[in-house]
Amino acid sequence: MLTASGALVKADIMRACVDLRNVDMAKVPTARIDKLLSSLGYGSRNDIARMARAGAITLDGVKLRDVTKRIPVTPDLPACMAVDGAPLDPLAGMVVLLHKPLGMTCSHKEDGALVYDILPARWRQRNPAMSTIGRLDKQTSGLLLLTDDGDLLHRIISPKRHVKKTYHVTLARPLNGDEAAIFAAGDLILAGEDKPLAPALLDVMSETEARLTVTEGRYHQVRRMFAATGNHVEKLHREALGGLSLPDDLAPGQWKLLGADDISMIFQG
Ligand code: URA
C-alpha cells in the first residue's frame, strides 16, 4: 500500500503492479474480496471462496486464498487482479458505449433480444445493475450508453441538463419545407400530450434525410414529431449524445468502455 505521500508501506497485500503515486490512498475505499467479486457478477461468496481455494484468483500475480480479506479498491485493480487468468471486470462506475443494432430492445418488457445480451453474460449479475441511459426503440440504431452509475444516469437524462440527442432521420416522403420552423418554435404539442416540446434543431440534408437535435427524451419522440408533420420515419439512427459522437469504427453490435474524458464530452456541445 502507498501512503498519501507516495511512500510504500507494509500492508497485508502489496499493490505494486501499477504506479499509484498519484492516488490518495486515504480516500481509497476497501472491500472484502469475496464481496467485491460477487458484486461484479463472479458468483456467490461461496463460489468465490471455492474459486480462490482452486487458485483461480490472483492479485499482482499472487494467488489469493483468503477472500475474507479487505483490499484497497484502487482504479488500477482490474489490471492487477485476475480471475481464471483474465483481468478483473471493470469496477462499479463503468460506462459502456454501444452501437445499438436494429432489432434489439432496451426493455425487458418488449419482445426480442435485449441489448444487454451483447455484453458479457456475467455483467447481468452485477450489483449495482447495469441499465441503459435512456432508451432507443427496437428499430432505432446508434449510440446507446449503459452504466451502473445511477447518479451519472440521472445527470444525463435529467430534463434540467438539456443534454442534446442528435439523430439521422430518413423519411418515407419528401420534407414539406416548414418542418425546421415548426420544430424550432417550441410550441409543437405531440398527439396525446399537453406540454409543448422544447425547441429542436432540424438540419435538412436532402428531400428525405435530415439531422434532428432534441434536448428531451419523450416516448418515440422523433417518430412522433415527424408524424405530426404528416411524414413517417423510415430509418432512425442516433449519432451523438451531447458532444459525444458514435465512433466511425464502432460497427453495429460493438461496444467500448468510456473513460472520464469521453464522459465529460456528453455535457459539452
Ligand atoms: N425518438 C424515437 O422516436 N425513437 C427513438 O428510438 C429515439 C428517439
Mean pLDDT of 218-244: 98
Nearest CA to 51 out of 14, 88, 96 is that of 88
234: CATH: 3.30.70.1560
Listed residues 35, 57, 87: the one ending a domain: 87
Checking phi first, is residue 61 left (phi over 0); if not, alpha (psi -120 to 50) or beta?
left
Statement to judge: residues 170 and 232 lie in one domain: yes
pLDDT at 27: 83
Give the number of the atom of ligand 1 that is nearest the alpha carbon of residue 136: 6
C-alpha 140 – ligand 1 centre gap (Å) = 7
Q: Which one of 99, 110, 136, 214 would you pick to mutate in the ligand 1 pocket, going by the greatest count of ligand atoms within 8 A of its CB? A: 136
CATH of the domain at 154: 3.30.70.580
Residue 81 lies in a domain: yes
| Residues classed as catalytic | 137
Q: Are residues 173 and 61 in the same domain?
A: no
| Res. 2: pLDDT tops 50 | no
The model carries a pTM of: 0.91
Predicted confidence (pLDDT) at residue 252 exceeds the cutoff of 90:
yes
Give phi and psi for 97, each to the nearest 5: -105, 120
38-79 per-position pLDDT tens digit: 999 999 999 999 999 999 999 999 999 999 999 999 999 999
Domain residues for the domain of 121 are 95-159+244-265
pLDDT band at 94 (very low <50, low <70, confident <90, very high): very high
> Where a domain ends, among 63, 87, 111?
87
DSSP letter (8 states) at residue 215: S
Q: Say if residue 194's pLDDT is above 70.
A: yes
222 lines ligand 1 (CB under 6 A): yes
Q: Kindly report, residue by residue over 107-116, the tens digit of the pLDDT.
A: 988 889 999 9
- The CA 111 to ligand 1 mean position distance, Å, reads 17
Domain co-membership, 23 together with 46: yes
Per-residue pLDDT, 28: 87
Closest ligand 1 atom to Cα of 140: 6
149 lines ligand 1 (CB under 6 A): no
Q: Which of 142, 160, 144 is nearest to 95 (CA)?
A: 144
pLDDT at 221 > cutoff 80 = yes
**152 and 59 in a common domain:** no
- The pLDDT assigned to 21 comes to 61
Judge if the beta carbon of residue 220 lies within 6 A of ligand 1: yes
Q: Is residue 11 over pLDDT 80?
A: no
Atom of ligand 1 nearest to the CA of 137: 6
What is the DSSP code string of 8-53? B---SS---SS--TTS-GGG--EEEHHHHHHHTTS--HHHHHHHHH
The C-alpha cell of 258 is what? 468510456
* Whether 6 contacts 68, CB under 8 Å: no
Pick from 15-24, 26-35, 183-192, 252-261: least confident: 15-24
- Stretch 30-35: mean pLDDT, rounded? 97
pLDDT value for 227: 98
Query: What is the Å distance from ligand 1's center to 197 Cα?
Result: 14
Is the minimum distance from the CB of 45 to ligand 1 under 6 angstroms? no
Indicate the pLDDT class of residue 259, thresholds 50, 70 and 90. Answer: very high
